[in-house]
Every structure is written in structure tokens, then in C-alpha cells.
């Protein structure tokens, strides 16, 4: 992706919790004119042992920029089987 500018695009990065901060910065700086970027991820499901998550780092670094928004979802937002919502809630209680 280095050297690319994504103009006139709708760009989605899924599973962003598994990016490094360097990968996240490289991805976010590809945003071009007339484009929208959506980044999704679940910080509770990181697969990066011992390293920082690019998603968590982006929220820390970019949280004060007006045109950047963060939306946190909960078990109530699960649209899978109802048992999945119960599992998410159980893990949330265990982590509290």
C-alpha cells in the first residue's frame, strides 16, 4: 500500500485490532480526496501477543480530531445468534 492514494473510494479495514501501530498509520494515511474510510475491530480479540494494537493506538492518537469518530458497540449490538450476545455479556462481567 505504500505510495498509494485512495481517491474516490470507500475503504474498509476489518479486524483492525490485529494491526500494529505502524500498519495502522500506513493504512490511514492512504485516504484520498472524495473518499470515506471505515475501520472496525474488537480490542478484546487481539491476536498480537506482546505488541500494541494499531486500533487502540489510533484511538489514543486521533481521538481529538473533529472529523474522526469512534463508536463502541456492546453485546446488545450483536446480530448473531442470541447465545452469542449472552457469551459476550458473560465475558464482559468476568473482565469487570
- Residue 37: pLDDT band with limits 50, 70, 90: very high
What single DSSP character describes residue 9? Answer: -
Kindly report the backbone phi and psi dihedral angles of residue 73, in degrees, each rounded to the nearest multiple of 5, phi listed first.
Answer: -105, 160
**Alpha carbon of 85 to those of 16, 45, 47, 70, 92: distances in Å?**
21, 15, 21, 21, 11
pLDDT in tens, 41-94: 998 889 887 778 999 999 999 999 999 999 988 877 877 888 988 888 899 899
pLDDT for residue 34: 98
pLDDT for residue 58: 96
> Which pTM does this prediction carry?
0.78
- Residue 8: pLDDT band with limits 50, 70, 90: very high
Amino acid at each position: 500500500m505504500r505510495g498509494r492514494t485512495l481517491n474516490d473510494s470507500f475503504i474498509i479495514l476489518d479486524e483492525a485490532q490485529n494491526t500494529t501501530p505502524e500498519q495502522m498509520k500506513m493504512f490511514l494515511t492512504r485516504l484520498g480526496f472524495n473518499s470515506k474510510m471505515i475501520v472496525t475491530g474488537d480490542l478484546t480479540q487481539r491476536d498480537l501477543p506482546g505488541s500494541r494494537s494499531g486500533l487502540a493506538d489510533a484511538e489514543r492518537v486521533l481521538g481529538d480530531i473533529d472529523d474522526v469518530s469512534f463508536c463502541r458497540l456492546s453485546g446488545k449490538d450483536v446480530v448473531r445468534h442470541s447465545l452469542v450476545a449472552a457469551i459476550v455479556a458473560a465475558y464482559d462481567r468476568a473482565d469487570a
